[in-house]
Every structure is written in C-alpha cells, then in structure tokens.
Amino acid sequence: MSRFPQTRLRRLRQTPAVRQLVRETTLRPEQLVLPMFVREGLTEASPIGSMPGVAQHSMDSLRAAAVEAAEAGVGGVMLFGIPAERDARGSAADAPHGILNLATEALVAEVGDALVVQTDLCLDEFTDHGHCGVLAPDGSVDNDATLERYTSMALAQARAGSHLLGLSGMMDGQVAVIRQALDAEGFTDTLLLAYAAKYASAFYGPFREAVDSQLKGDRRTYQLDPGNRREGVREAVVDEAEGADIVMVKPAMAFLDVLREVRDTVHVPVWAYQVSGEYAMIEAAAANGWIDRRAAVLESLLSIRRAGADAVLTYWAPEVARWLDD
C-alpha cells in the first residue's frame, strides 16, 4: 500500500485558472445593493465620520452617486431619508413632498431603467423619539397604530415610483397589511422586501450617526434578541406567508447561521444587510494597516453569499462592482 495520499485535494487549488473554474460561490455586481442617505436642506454631500467614504447626500449629489452606481452595474439602491423636521408620528415620512419621496421620484427618473430603486419603509428617521413606530401613552411602541402609519408610507412611496419597499420596522403583520393596501390601490407590481430577521444589534452604531437618530433607549421589544436563531427563521416563514417577495437577515456577518437556515427554509429570495458597524470595522482595521482592505471586503461579501444570500446590501457596492468588472 502506498504511503502517499490517494486523495489529493490540492489538485483543485494549483493555479488561479483551476481555482476559478471550480469555485463554488461567486460574487457579481448585480448581486449588490447600495444603501444611500439623502438629507433635506443639504446643498452638497456631507461625510459621515464613522463611515469613511459614505455621506449624507443632497439631491444633486444623490443623483450623481446613483448614476455612478448604475454605471458600475450594481443591482439596486436603497434610499433612507432624513427630514429637516421631526415629530412624534413621523409626519414627513408620507408627505408627498417629503425628502424620501422626492428623492425616490428623482432617482426613478434618473436611473430607474438601469437598477432597482428601493426605499426604506420605517419611521425611525422621521420621529422625534427615534423609535420605528408610534408610541402609546406608556411609551411603548403601539404595533397596530404603527401599521396604519406604515400603510400610508407604503402608498406614498409607491406613488413616488419606488420599485421595492424595504419593510424594516419589525412590526407584527406589517407585510400583510401593506400588501393588501398596495393591491387595493393598484400597486400590484410593487415588490416587498421584509426585514424578517432583524436583530437588536450593537453593529448599528454608525448608522445612527448617518440618519441623525434621535433614539433614547433601545428597540429590543420589536427587534430580535441576538441569542435567538429559531425565532429569526420563524419570522422569515411568517413574512413569506404574508406575501413578502424577498426576506432579509440583518446584520449579516454576525448572523450567518441564521442566514443559512433561512435560505434553507423559505422559497423566496433571501438577502442580507452588511450593516454600518461591519463596514466601519473593516475600514478602521484597514486604515491602521492591520488587514488588506480589498481582500477583507471581498472575503466578507463572499462569506455572506456563501451562507445563502442571493443579494447583499453593502456600502461598498459601487467600488466592489468596479473591482469585479476589472
């Protein structure tokens, strides 16, 4: 019997051409979605300190960045609006001339034929208390009163031309009521992305700066406990049954086990959000020379795809798309 190995797995790794030919998981520009922030009253882009390379946009800089993303070949953009004035019910969220709805109209006209224009459907950017819904007298988030506000937001965003609504508020029943309202108004083709397994995560910190969050306290009564895997899968199953076209796991890298199980359970596309904290950690480590930035960015995205994500929301979308094209 030979003392040498019979099975030589290294044969599949011997050259770049062989490695590319047998690669199990791939990354393409159209699998990437760029989150973008537009702030009312800005005349030029304003850099976000905790997210190097990311900015709050004016309407003009938003258009320019969206055109750049479309030219890079990314699959879509997800818009977040930051109003000049906030109140307890988030009135600017569904105002026809609110910043998010105006920005949606502008981008649909500018790049709507080239990529999927998506809008965040949540109240946290628009409320003076920073929560994702309407507050009850005792200070808790009133689920059903919030659903009424979400319904109004959904119709406003659909009328502005949004191709896909990102339901990120984590209210029970949000997919069902919004789907029913959209269909009743004739918006049967508007896609619904359910942030199904959205966890109360420490990795959202830089995002709070990005949207100038007014939040006091936390969102643990409606976002998922990070210790719960099965509950995240259950949320995705419920959202699929209520009519979600796509479900999402958020954050991505700390919840790859949830992502894999959701992908194995539901029958709709599954996306993941590589959130602000994930972005900021890699940027900070790279800036200090501790890691190879490009290699780490690509590996992080590949790991999310490998775990089962059909598409990834990432702040690196245009840059990575250009790398992949090169």
**DSSP-based helix, strand, coil % in the chain, nearest 5:** 45, 15, 40
Please give the Cα distance from 64 to 70 (Å, whole number).
10
Please give the Cα distance from 298 to 16 (Å, whole number).
16
Please give the Cα distance from 215 to 320 (Å, whole number).
32
Please give the Cα distance from 49 to 53 (Å, whole number).
9
DSSP of 235-301, one letter per residue? Answer: HHHHHHHHT-SEEEEESSGGGHHHHHHHHHH-SS-EEEE--HHHHHHHHHHHHTTSS-HHHHHHHHH
Contact between 221 and 143 (Cβ < 8 Å): no
Looking at this protein, which amino acid is placed at residue 115?
L
Pull the structure tokens for residue 61.
């800089």
Contact between 274 and 314 (Cβ < 8 Å): yes
CB atoms within 10 A of CB 220: 11
Give the catalytic positions in this structure.
198, 250
The kind and range of the H/E element at 192 are: strand 191-198
CA 4 to chain centre: 50
